[in-house]
Amino acid sequence: MKFITKKNALLFVCFTAGHFLFAQIDKNATKETKNLYQNLKTISKKHILFGHQHALEYGHGWSSEPNRSDVKSVTGSHPAVVGIDFSDFSGRSKDQIEKTKEVLRKNVIDTYERGGITTVSWHFNNPASDGGFYWKDGISAASISLIKPGGSHHEEYKEILKSIADFAHSVKAKDGKLSPMIFRPFHEFDGDWFWWGKAHTSREDFIAVWQFTVSYLKDTLGVHNFIYAFSPDNRFNSEEEYLERYPGDEFVDLLGMDDYGDFGRDGKYDLDAGLKKLKIFSDLAIKKKKLAAFTETGLESIPNENWWTEVLLKTLKSENLELAYVLVWRNDTTSPTHYYAPFPGQASEKDFIKFYDDPFTLFEKDLKNIYSKKFKI
């Protein structure tokens, strides 16, 4: 048992045998990945980690500056969870893929060595047609059926997964350990905007590809530093609807949701609906002994100056939710309006500092030994 302090708040964490009842799907996961999984479960009971997509790669008006993030510029700390993307790991030239990997490799290792956490989204460029990762009528192919075992593009898909596995094997830190990552493929699959979306693939094919992806990475290619996250968009209102394309407990570590629509997009708020959905999969994760997280949300341009405390924090503290982290989307380098985290001078900056100071929220500075059984905040 250990008493820990965060911003003058006295917290209590108990590392009893009961803490280690939550088994992840990869029995051969690295020690650091197993410890991260267990520590995230502990965090979710009393706190939540804050995350930001592409936080270290670029921000509002800047790009590729060492050890910089907009969140750090406002609070003095990087976000606890840093989002990257495997989007350029396929459908690009070999040189471009290798340059991307080099940048992301440093990002992942640096985050691990600072004590932060990496989560990976995958805007997967369509392997069987032009159109990129979005569905484009008249251009995009419904390719989930083509990349499943027996499909015309299955062997090509295996090569793409080998490229991901090579990257997973390469993120070795100075301590000789591989950096763990939360891998979140095929997100927002219940919508129709991506080529893997519900409108473009059957339930059976989607599940087959998901199961193959996890098994091939884990069992054939020997990737043992991934935690696997399942995250639909917000198009569900019951546990049954949430699980409609669920591939099974042996293929998922973390239950999530992406939800912008209920939290202020286009000026529309339905916080009761958003909370209901968070509660559905948080309770489901507790029942299944899985992790849960609010895998994407945010309010573009953050025009509501008190959005962080009066909308997001208030919701996250409700209904005994057990969420390991909440991640907001990226801050574009050149767009004057496309950003989801504050930067110095942005209208919600003061409220975000209140959000940061609240003992419930945890940032990178609050994490000590997140990859160890000696974890403390």
DSSP annotation of 293 reads E
Look at the block and give the residue holding tokens 């997964």.
Answer: 161
Residue 38 contacts residue 30 (beta carbons within 8 Å): no
CB within 8 Å of 178: residues ≥ 6 apart: 30, 32, 33, 168, 169, 171, 172, 224, 225
Report how far residue 20's alpha carbon sits from residue 132's, in angstroms, rounded to the nearest whole number: 41
310 is catalytic: no
Report how far residue 264's alpha carbon sits from residue 249's, in angstroms, rounded to the nearest whole number: 32
Residue 98 vs residues 88, 90, 91, 164, 224: alpha-carbon distances, Å: 9, 11, 12, 12, 22
For the chain, where are the alpha helices, taking DSSP H only? 31-46, 70-75, 94-114, 144-147, 154-170, 203-215, 239-242, 271-288, 314-316, 349-357
Burial 99-110 (b: 16+ CB within 10 A, else e): ebbeebeebbbb
188 is catalytic: yes
53 backbone dihedrals φ, ψ, rounded to 5°:
-70, 135
Report how far residue 69's alpha carbon sits from residue 52's, in angstroms, rounded to the nearest whole number: 9
Catalytic residue, from 296, 310, 319, 364: name it. Answer: 296
- Tell me whether strands 117-121 and 81-85 are parallel, antiparallel or unpaired: parallel
- In one letter, which amino acid is 85? D
Task: Select from 186, 118, 108, 151 the least CA-distant residue to 325.
Answer: 118
Query: Which two tokens mark 94?
Result: 């070999």
For 47-150, where are the alpha helices, taking DSSP H only? 70-75, 94-114, 144-147
Report how far residue 256's alpha carbon sits from residue 28's, in angstroms, rounded to the nearest whole number: 23
Residue 89 contacts residue 101 (beta carbons within 8 Å): yes
Catalytic residue, from 188, 305, 310, 349: name it. Answer: 188
Catalytic residues: 188, 296
